[in-house]
Amino acid sequence: MKKEYELTAGRLLLLALGVGLLSACASDDGVVSPEHDASDADRQQVTYSLRPQTIRRASVVEEGLAFRWDKGDRLTVWKGAVAESARPVTFETSEGGIGTALFQHTGPVTASQVYFGFYPAVDAPVSREIKIEIPDRGIRQNEASSSLHLKNFRPMYTTVVAREESTTELTGMTFRHLTALLVFRVKNFNEETALVREISVEAGRPVFYTEARYEAGSGAGQAVPSEASAVRSVRLSLGDDGICLSPDEELKAFLPVLPTADLMGTDLSVSIRTDSHFYAPLTLSGTDVGDRDQNGVCDFAPSYYYQFRLELKNRMLEWGDRHIESWKEGEVTEIPV
C-alpha cells in the first residue's frame, strides 16, 4: 500500500485590541476614577469594552478559513490598579463577528491600569489557577468543515497589560492558544458516498494529556499537564451518526489537543472509521512531527496547528508526499476558532 501524507504546522495568534464605548461617568478622554470607599452596589455603573481581532497568524495553503467569534463567547478579564489586586469580571459578545467582535462588561467603576484575560470565561473563579480539560473522547464536530465545536476546547491566555491611566478602553491584549489544533482534510476519491464517523490518532505510549492547569496572569506560554491524565489516543466524532462525504468532496475536521509529551521514539497512527469500513491506520514517527516551538522536544506544541491531508481511495487511506511545512509569522489567518 502506498502511504502518503502531508503534515502542516503553523502558529496561531489572536490580538485583542480595545475599542472603547465611553460611559457617562468617564471623563472626555475615557479616564475613570474608581470610588474605592464605596461598596460595589453603591458605585456608579460603567461599561468596559474590548474588541478582539486577528492581526498576525498563519495561512492554510491556498484557501482561507475566516477567523470567527461566535455570539455568546465570553472572556474572563482580571483588572485593577496592580496585578496582585486585580479582580475577575466577565466580558461577552452579543453578536459575534467575522474577524472581530465587540465584547463588553457593565459593572461598578474599578481601576483598570492593569489587566489580563483568559478564554473561555471562568465562572466564579476563586483563584487564578484554572483547570483545563480537553477530553480524549466525546469531542464531536456536527457539520463538515465547521469549527463551532471548538468553543470550550481552545483555551487562550494573555500576558499582563500595564498602563498609567484607568480607562474604559482595554487595549493591547494579545490572546495566545494553549492547545495545538489538528486539522484533517479528508477527500473522498471513491465512487460511492462515505459516511465518516470518527478520526483517531494513537501513539505507542501515553503522550496525550486530558487535563492541565494554568495560572492566569503568569504569562506562561504553556499549561502544566497532569501526568495522571496521560492517554495513548484521542478521537474526534463526526455528526450524530457520521458526516456524509460525497465523491470528490472534501471535509475539514478539527481536533484540539493539549501539548503532548515528547514524541521522540514513538510512532503515531491516524485512522478513519466510516459506516462501512475501518481504514487501516497510517503511521508517522514523532520526529516527523518535529520541534516547531524549539523547546527541545518533538511534540504537538501550543499555538500551532498541524494539517493532515487524507485521501479515501479504493477502501484505502492514503496521504500526500512525505512533506512537513512550517508557516512563517505574519501571514493571513486561515484557521477559525
Domain ranges of the chain: 6-326
> 36 is written with which cell numbers?
474605592
> Which three cell numbers, joined as nine digits, stand for 110?
474599578
pLDDT at residue 239 above 50?
yes
| Owner of C-alpha cell 471513491 | 190
User: Could you give the CA distance from residue 14 to residue 19 in angstroms, rounded to a whole number?
Assistant: 15
* pLDDT above 60 (res 38): no
What per-residue confidence (pLDDT) applies to 257? Answer: 96
pLDDT band for position 327 (cuts 50, 70, 90): very low
Going by pLDDT thresholds of 50, 70 and 90, the confidence category of residue 95 is confident
Confidence tier at 36 by pLDDT (50, 70, 90): very low
Put simply, whether the predicted model's pTM sits higher than 0.85 gets the answer no
Q: Please give the Cα distance from 36 to 331 (Å, whole number).
A: 45
pLDDT at residue 106 in the model: 95
Rounded CA gap, 119 and 76, in Å?
A: 6
Choose among 26, 28, 22, 34: nearest CA to 109: 34
Coil, strand or helix at 106: strand
Q: What is the pLDDT of residue 56?
A: 35
Q: Cα-atom radius of gyration of the chain, to the nearest Å?
A: 22
CB 268 within 8 A of CB 299: no
Q: Name the E strands within 135-275.
A: 140-141, 156-157, 161-162, 173-177, 180-188, 194-203, 211-215, 224-225, 233-238, 243-245, 250-257, 267-274
The percentage of residues in the chain with a pLDDT greater than 90, rounded to a whole number, is 50
Q: What is the mean pLDDT of residues 328-335?
A: 30
Cβ neighbors of 32 (< 8 A, separation 6 or more) are: 25, 26, 46, 109, 112, 166, 167, 168
Q: Which of 234, 224, 138 is nearest to 182 (CA)?
A: 234
Q: Name residue 130's beta-bridge partners.
A: 214
What is the torsion angle, in degrees rounded to the nearest 10, for the CA atoms of residue 25, residue 31, residue 32 and residue 36? -160
Residue 23's pLDDT band, with cuts at 50, 70 and 90, is very low
Question: What band does 67 get if pLDDT is binned at 50, 70 and 90?
Answer: low
Strand-pair partners of 309: 185
The highest-level CATH class for domain 6-326 is mainly beta
Residue type, 95: E
pLDDT tens, position by position, 304-323: 888 888 899 887 888 765 54
